[in-house]
Amino acid sequence: MKIQVKQQENNGIHFHLSNKSVSLVIESTQDGYVFLRHFGKKIRNYHASNRPQALDRAFSPGPYADSRCFSLDTQRQVYATAGMGDFRYPAIMIANEKDQGLDLRLLTYEVQDGVVPIAGLPSSHANQKAAQTLKLVLEDRVLAIQVVLFYTLFAESTVIATHVEVTNNSQQGYTIEKLHSAMLDLEHCNYELIELAGAYAREKTLQKTPLKQGLMSVNSRRGASSHQATPFTCLAAPTTNEEQGEVIGMHLLYSGDFEAGVFVDQLATTRMFIGLNHETFRWQLEPQATFTSPEALLTYTDQGFGQMTQDMHDFVKAHILTGQHQNALRPILLNNWEATYFDFDEAKILALADKAVEAGIELLVLDDGWFGQRNDDNTSLGDWFLNEAKLPKGLANLVEQVNQKGLQFGIWVEPEMVSVTSELYRQHPDWCLHMAKRPHLYSRNQLVLDLSREDVQNYLIEAMSTVFASANISYVKWDMNRNMTCVASALQQHGIKEISHRYILGLYKILTALIEKFPHILFESCSGGGGRYDLGMLAYMPQTWTSDNTDAICRLNIQYGTSFIYPAITMGAHVSAVPNHQVGRITSLATRGAIAMAGNLGYELDLTQLPQTELTEIAQQVQTYKAIRPIIQAGDLYRLLNPTTTPNETAFLYISKDKTEAVVTYCKVLAQAESPTTVLRLKGLDETARYRDTKTQQCYGGDELMHVGVTIPLARTDFYTVTFHFQKC
């Protein structure tokens, strides 16, 4: 971790940032222009070997009357503006009635120890000596606008964190019309754009698209990061695979509307960007006011997708997750949702608890239906008081009985929503997002509360605090089951396009308050599954319900895509009943268990209706997972066979950090006549060590397992899985 600052003979400055394996080189000219000279593999020193040629490019204007060979339109910029000669996709746009240009020049810089926290927004963390930050202060002297770029290095990471701060030092107001958190101008366009797209119940589907001239965007306009998109994108060389090839990644710590992507220009250079979605964002920047962007993360490797994944997993666990659950092993849970839906009472919950204890499960979660008059999804959201018809003896009494059986207790809430049929809506109809004189738009029979309002924020903090303090609750599933429409506030205090961002700021304020009050609670984020599975939420809630789709075969693709950037310790994965409630498929309990063990194992089915043989099998699965849980949740992931390239076969490997244990899971979707033999070559083991198969007790060399491989037994059945657990002899 090192930030070098060198003054050049021509009065320019070189800023060379380098960490474990990545270098970022920025150059300022004597006139204060700031350009990107290198982002990629670590170099020892920079001596301008790649200095750009001075060429007269047609239709590219420049600021110097005596030179046609300099234009911002052809330079690799660090942070591009609009209106000053660069016709490519800008990172920032600021305007008033008379001016929509922004001419940023370097004013000053500072190098400081530690990270720079962002008020009101999630950001990566590190102790003071484990990080270093470069602060570049840019200024438009005409508009009196300052733009500060922050770049943070971490001692034990390959990731660079960056964000932007905009200050209006003038006496007049401006409108921020666009603001990206990060931008990289790259020297060529021989890449594929990679994104995690999808839909409800089909989240995090990996997509690759070759770059072409023009704009290619990944975005959400739904008020959440969404099932359909993920605030992440990367560029990879066409030949990149799990083990080799260049990968350049951008990630955003944000849970609302975003945009990311690339712009390829007429000279085949690529501008990569990520930040707030300018289609749903405007911000009035009053005199002397400051606005700060969400934080973005920059990653680079020349060792393929596998290395990018491990770099991100390590960074998330060390610098994004917080609190006492940051690295704590996650409990194995039973959720009553698919077991009972809304139809339960105290006796039914306690019967499930008895079976959970019998199986060795550690946590019982009471899902939707415990509050208000909630007997279906048409009513009571917002009424966070007990449904006494179902639990007449009270929540605390139920929790105490569950605790006495040896189980922790968790509860489901959906605080951001309101039902029209509720006491809250009757008292405060103006508290929902709503455009005046227009009818409501419903989704799942509910409306969205206006979290941009301080009174709504305070209500939710108080209401949730009352619930969480009412009993010995150790886990909370925080759901959000619709996207935003009619995004306007009855208060009309702010511009219409400020509301979406103010909503997210309100959400983060609420979460901060609750986590500070209840640090012992393990929060799991959910939005109909993975509709808000992003780094912003993980900074507050250290795990996420990956998808409402619990079918094991569907989960192969969902969990593969999720694993691309998010570690297993954040990934909720449950065994549910068959036929599966989402797709109707029937898979064996063994297969359902094996796939769910790739994340935080849980169960979501009626244990009281299972035959004893299946209860015994579940107990064996729980025992197995407890033995391998530290490897899955704290170890390194290697993807051996990917469902995107080998659709009928998937295999993944987790290895403990000290390389003493490894768990391999293989799944074949459909049986084939005369099927070829599959031999899996493992990765990441200690080549000089010997490893014992815990089932057969046979020992093998680490080099043999990696370079010769393990034969997968041939099975004449669909949806077949096999798992190996190796320990150092």
Q: Could you confirm whether 265 is annotated as catalytic?
A: no
Structure confidence at residue 65 (pLDDT): 80
DSSP string, 83-112: SSS--S--SEEEE-SS------EEEEEEEE
Average pLDDT over residues 517-521: 98
Structure confidence at residue 653 (pLDDT): 98
Structure confidence at residue 58 (pLDDT): 86
End-to-end CA distance of the chain: 37
The span from the CA of 79 to the CA of 86, in Å, is 11
In CATH terms, the fold of domain 649-728 is: Immunoglobulin-like (2.60.40)
Cα angle 432, 436, 437 (rounded to 5 degrees) comes to 125
Is the pLDDT at 99 greater than 90, yes or no?
Answer: no
Is the pLDDT at 306 greater than 90, yes or no?
Answer: yes
Structure confidence at residue 69 (pLDDT): 87
| pLDDT band (50, 70, 90) for residue 78 | very high
Structure confidence at residue 364 (pLDDT): 98
Q: Phi, psi (5° rounding) for residue 509?
A: -65, -45
Structure confidence at residue 167 (pLDDT): 98
What radius of gyration, in Å, describes the C-alpha atoms of the chain?
27
Domain with CATH 2.60.40.1180 in the chain: 649-728
| pLDDT band (50, 70, 90) for residue 228 | very high
Is the pLDDT at 224 greater than 90, yes or no?
Answer: yes
Structure confidence at residue 9 (pLDDT): 79
Tell me the residue type at 110.
E
| pLDDT band (50, 70, 90) for residue 469 | very high
Structural contact between residues 549 and 572, judged by C-beta atoms closer than 8 angstroms: no
| Active-site position among 368, 534, 548, 636 | 548
Is the pLDDT at 64 greater than 90, yes or no?
Answer: no
Strands 22-28 and 13-18: antiparallel
The span from the CA of 74 to the CA of 83, in Å, is 15
pLDDT digits over 102-136, tens only? 999 999 999 999 999 999 999 999 999 999 999 99
| Active-site position among 103, 479, 551, 636 | 479
In CATH terms, the fold of domain 2-66+74-320 is: Beta-galactosidase; Chain A, domain 5 (2.70.98)
The span from the CA of 605 to the CA of 341, in Å, is 10
| pLDDT band (50, 70, 90) for residue 61 | confident
pLDDT digits over 21-56, tens only? 999 999 999 999 999 999 999 999 999 899 888 888
pLDDT digits over 617-667, tens only? 999 999 999 999 999 999 999 999 999 889 999 999 999 999 999 999 999
Nearest to 560 by CA among 662, 634, 648, 651: 651
Tell me the residue type at 544.
T
Is the pLDDT at 690 greater than 90, yes or no?
Answer: yes
Structure confidence at residue 164 (pLDDT): 98
Structure confidence at residue 312 (pLDDT): 98
The span from the CA of 538 to the CA of 532, in Å, is 10
Average pLDDT over residues 485-506: 96
Domain with CATH 2.70.98.60 in the chain: 2-66+74-320
Percent of the chain topping pLDDT 90: 94
Q: Could you confirm whether 479 is annotated as catalytic?
A: yes
Structural contact between residues 180 and 80, judged by C-beta atoms closer than 8 angstroms: no
Structure confidence at residue 67 (pLDDT): 84
Average pLDDT over residues 588-593: 98
Structure confidence at residue 464 (pLDDT): 98
Q: How is the beta sheet containing 2-7 ordered, strand by strand?
A: 2-7, 13-18, 22-28, 34-41
